[in-house]
Amino acid sequence: TARFLGVPQTFITLGGFLGAIPAKDVKISYAGEQKDAYAGVCWGLYGGLIKKHYFRRVAFFAEARYEVQAFSFSRSFDDDDLTYTNTIELLSGAAGMEIALRADLNIGFTGGFKGFGGAIQDTWESEKKEDGEKKGEKKAFAGPEVDYSGPFFGIQLIYSPPTW
């Protein structure tokens, strides 16, 4: 295929992401009082294997990823702040297109699906703060089920460090 499609390449990838998620219908109870949670924050890291096919400065790719992702939301109650964080491991697949800006820098567009094989691990932790200081230890517990599966899309900036 390299003869007709350009130069195929395979890479190991490492990456991360950050985003905001609305905490719709999420309630937090504390000391008999119940309030809506603030909007959540989602972040994660991933590693994977990517296969690229170049046509001059444009590359099309497919990627398989292993991700560790966290979702956190919080709420203040008078002087107390409560934070709940859910951490999950999952598999995902992505495909997209990149344009070479320089020999070591590409910009790209990607889309894919998260959650192949379902959740590998699903844990929740809560942490209480009073007057800005952590109070007690983090507690792990069985929380509500969060479905991370589904489509995703993004814009990416790819830097390839020089080889040695």
Per-residue pLDDT in tens (0 to 9) along the chain, 164 residues: 444 556 688 989 999 888 887 766 766 666 677 777 766 788 899 999 999 998 888 999 999 999 988 887 776 665 566 677 778 888 999 999 999 999 889 999 999 998 865 555 556 666 677 766 776 666 666 666 777 788 988 898 988 888 77
Answer positive or negative: Cα dihedral of 145, 151, 156, 162.
positive
pTM of the model: 0.70
pLDDT at res. 22: 72
Neighbour count for residue 69 (Cβ, 10 Å): 20
Residues contacting 25, CB < 8 A, separation 6+: none
Tokens 């991370």 belong to residue: 148
Domain ranges of the chain: 2-159
Tell me the two tokens of residue 24.
Answer: 């719709």
pLDDT at res. 103: 84
One DSSP character per residue, 90-108 reads EEEEEEEEEEEEETTEEEE
pLDDT at res. 88: 83
With contact defined as beta carbons under 8 Å apart, do 39 and 23 qualify?
yes
CA atoms of 6 and 15, how far apart (whole Å): 26
pLDDT at res. 121: 55
